[in-house]
A and B are shown apart, each in its own frame.
Chain A
Amino acid sequence: MTELDGLYALWYREFKVFLREKSRIVSSLFTPLLWIVVFGGGLGSSVSLGGTNYQVFIFPGILTMTILFSSIFFGLYIVWDKRIDFFKEVLVAPLSRLTIFAGKMLGGCTDALIQASLMLAFGVILGISYSPQMVALTMIFMLVLASAVVSIGLIIGSFMESPEGFNLIVSFLVFPLFFLSGALFPIDNLPSWLRVFTTLNPVTYAVDGMRGTMLGISSFPVIMDLGVLLGFAAVMIVIGSIAFSRMK
């Protein structure tokens, strides 16, 4: 009971902070919108892929990007928390480290999902017609991806002492994950060296699954995409819990 209350407390804190920091929401949506409107719109005026306008083609990729960036940078807050001693108060509470990790992780997922849902709504303007099943399945993909990537952010954050160090490591990680995911191009006809990277990149399966769900274009069966993503998330959550239990 206490653990559940504690889990709720940690989530509630993240949620409240998120709601009060409105600038976070605006700034986190600015970059993806720029990609969709300017890059997608510009290239889309002369390019179409798989019978779909380029702007629409990259939309699932940009949704992935929204989640990827906001989720991984969520780990930065833990570096700040450690600095201002707020976290000491949490660590000394009679709660298991698994609960603390799960609370933080769910808080991060909530942030990322709210931002991604706002982006998802933007799809209507692009002319994508949503069905309830389609929205539900897309949300599931977004949630599983967010839980995996928030965990990565928290793992890195739990080891880092300074925000600068965190940013350095994360930018080395987040850009390859994004560019090698097929967010911006189809992955079927890639040169074999590039194909190795995209196949190994778990984010590829998030993009592919969402694109399959929303546009009916996919390189793998959607159910396989979901399976790979679930496995990835499970591994990251386990590592995250271990990282938190070792944290002082």
Chain B
Amino acid sequence: MTMNDFSVTPNREFGEVVIQTSDLTKKFGHIMAVDHINLSIREGEVFGLLGPNGAGKTTTLSMLATLLKPTEGTAKVNKHDIVKESDAVRRSIGIVFQEPSSDDILTGKENLYLHALMYGVQSNVRQQRIGEVLKLVDLEDRAKSQVKTYSGGMRRRLELARGLLHRPKILFLDEPTLGLDPQTREHIWEYIRRLADQERVTVILTTHYMDEAERLCDRVAIIDDGKIVALDTPEKLKQIVGGDIVRLRIKNPKLSPIKELPYIVKVEQTDDFVLLTVKNSSAHLQEILSLVGNAESVELRTPTLNDVFLNYTGHEIREADAEGGFFERASRARSSGK
């Protein structure tokens, strides 16, 4: 599996708008979890909500899935209002939660059967659909084992299968690959991509993994403190950074001549490192190195969404924090006296 397998086909045709939010807002007490978000998402898109924990991603998703009522504003999902027509919305969506929500005393197949019953899958196609989704996520051989014997990756795949069982037009995924090993993540990305491309399912996912947003999503909204700070294709977002990143490990750098150079976009200095944003870096690396002094090491890379995030918010997404979220944000809000 190479990176190109996931890249977005240029000029992919998206259908009509299936999700439209208007000033969607959620407050928990004094904390603005989601702050007047306006989004429109088209059929067949894989749309990413990227941001650190507590940025408001899951809250946004929960409101769109009718699990939470917005404090202000509303949204239309598949032409139905999330507040006034929540039943109709529920029938057109599938949702896979961050925490595993399958019953682990039951087998994988039994879980799917229950889901089919609850979501009104017609009795004449039930078994066939269950077979299809099990095949899609490669769980046919373990379908009759109790879910408690599954690995983390298998559970995630089962949840994904369940989310697809009633053929929703729109699929919500909350951190679809949180805590999974790289190989399983690749698999799940592949499934999601296939769904959007072949089945025309619109996928809205939240993630705080940069690589996931970059490789899977057609468009990414960067969310911080409940607000959308940027929204575009991953490529365009990266272009906004304005060049490649050159990272030098160097003591006592001579930065003043560097800052004068026309192709230097940005210069940042931390302890032993200098971080340069450079246009057309490969042509100018030699000159930079001759001017800056004795560098111990040089690293040249194209910008990642992490650089984009840093560019917009002034802080990095800390990938290490997998847990936390709301409470973390609550305590942050309290300590900063908001």
Contact = CB atoms under 8 A, between A and B. Distances in A.
A84 interface: yes
Given A9-B118, A94-B91, A86 B102 contact: yes
Interface string B126-148: 00000000000000000000100
B320 interface: no
A110 B110 CA distance: 19
Interface in A53-92: 84-86, 88-92
B66 interface: yes
Contacts of B146: 20
B105 interface: yes
B97 A93 contact: no
A27 interface: no
Contacts, number: 67
B220 to A, nearest CB: 25
A105 to B, nearest CB: 16
Nearest to B117: A9
A84 B90 CA distance: 21
Contacts of B103: 13, 17, 86
Contacts of B67: 88, 91-92, 248
Contacts of A88: 67, 97, 101
B117 A17 contact: no
A90 B146 CA distance: 19
B258 to A, nearest CB: 52
B106 interface: yes
A95 B105 contact: no
B159 to A, nearest CB: 9
A2 B65 contact: no
A159 interface: no
A94 B106 contact: no
Nearest to A21: B105
Most buried by A among B97, B119, B123: B119
B131 to A, nearest CB: 19
Interface string B192-225: 0000000000000000000000000000000000
A86 B101 contact: yes
A5 B99 contact: no
B117 A6 contact: yes
Contacts of B106: 13, 16-17, 20
A91 B90 CA distance: 10
Per DSSP, chain A at the interface is helix
B119 A93 contact: yes
Contacts of B66: 92
Contacts of B119: 93-94
Contact of B120 (A2, A13, A17, A86): A2
Nearest to A87: B101
B190 interface: no
B237 interface: no
A12 interface: yes
Nearest to A99: B118
B105 A5 contact: no
B101 A94 contact: no
B101 A9 contact: no
Contact of A17 (B65, B87, B102, B105): B105
Contact of B87 (A5, A12, A90, A94): A94
Contact of B65 (A84, A90, A92): A92
Interface in B94-119: 95, 97, 99-103, 105-106, 110, 113-115, 117-119
Contacts of B115: 89
B120 A84 contact: no
A85 B65 contact: no
A85 B101 contact: yes
Interface string B68-98: 1000000000000000000100110001010
A84 B95 contact: no
Given A17-B106, A86-B102, A94 B120 contact: yes
Contact of B110 (A16, A21, A85, A93): A16
Contacts of A10: 118
5 contacts: A5-B123, A13-B106, A17-B103, A89-B95, A93-B118
